[in-house]
Amino acid sequence: MNDSNPMPDPIYEFEVEWGDCDPADIVYYPNYYRWFDNAAHRLFAQAGYSLSSVRAQHRSLGFPLVNAKAQFRAPATVGDRLTIRSRVLAIGRKSITVEHRVMRGETLLVEGEEVRIMGVRSDDGKLTAAVIPASFRRHFGFDAA
């Protein structure tokens, strides 16, 4: 874990739309996972690892999700302006743990965590995890393995 890696500037900012909400007029929970996904890909792209880049330079399929969780602290509704702050919390040999914090102003709404891999196809065509590149590790403040 790299606790010296502070929460960055906003990765992803947007306004909650009517279609994001359930009949109770609060954000339908799966949308937070969609927004986490968007934020993670933006975080990686800012590090030079956009989807097109990892596909071209690393023959990777991208960063598939292998685990996700969220803790919901307060609801959001139509018209709320949300900000997601994301950071790489840990990098294993073949996994990346990303922390997300969804904010409305100074109010924390949701805390999330994802574990992702850099996915590649094995010789038999199965999806498998590649070793995380040293340059990726260094960019996020982790020693090269």
Element (H, E) at 55: helix 51-57
- As given in the structure block, the two tokens for residue 128 are 């498998």
Domain range for 58 is 12-139
Residue 106 domain-assigned (yes or no): yes
Residue 18 domain-assigned (yes or no): yes
Residue 1 domain-assigned (yes or no): no
Residue 2 domain-assigned (yes or no): no
Residue 105 domain-assigned (yes or no): yes
Q: What pLDDT, in 10s, does the model give residues 89-135?
A: 999 999 999 999 999 999 999 999 999 999 999 899 899 999 999 99
CATH number at residue 129: 3.10.129.10
pTM, rounded to two decimals: 0.89
Report how far apart, in Å, the C-alpha atoms of 60 and of each of 12, 43, 48, 83, 89 are.
24, 17, 14, 29, 22
Residue 144 domain-assigned (yes or no): no
**Which is nearest to 97 in space by CA: 119, 116, 110?**
116
Residue 6 domain-assigned (yes or no): no
Please answer whether residues 49 and 87 qualify as being in contact, where contact means their C-beta atoms are separated by less than 8 angstroms.
no
Q: What pLDDT, in 10s, does the model give residues 28-63?
A: 999 999 999 999 999 999 989 999 999 888 888 999
In this predicted structure, what is the pLDDT of residue 109? Answer: 98
In this predicted structure, what is the pLDDT of residue 60? Answer: 87
Task: Answer yes or no: 22 catalytic.
Answer: yes
pLDDT(19) > 90: yes
In this predicted structure, what is the pLDDT of residue 5? Answer: 60
pLDDT(1) > 50: no
Residue 83 domain-assigned (yes or no): yes
Number of domains observed in the structure of the chain: 1
Catalytic residue, from 22, 25, 124, 143: name it: 22
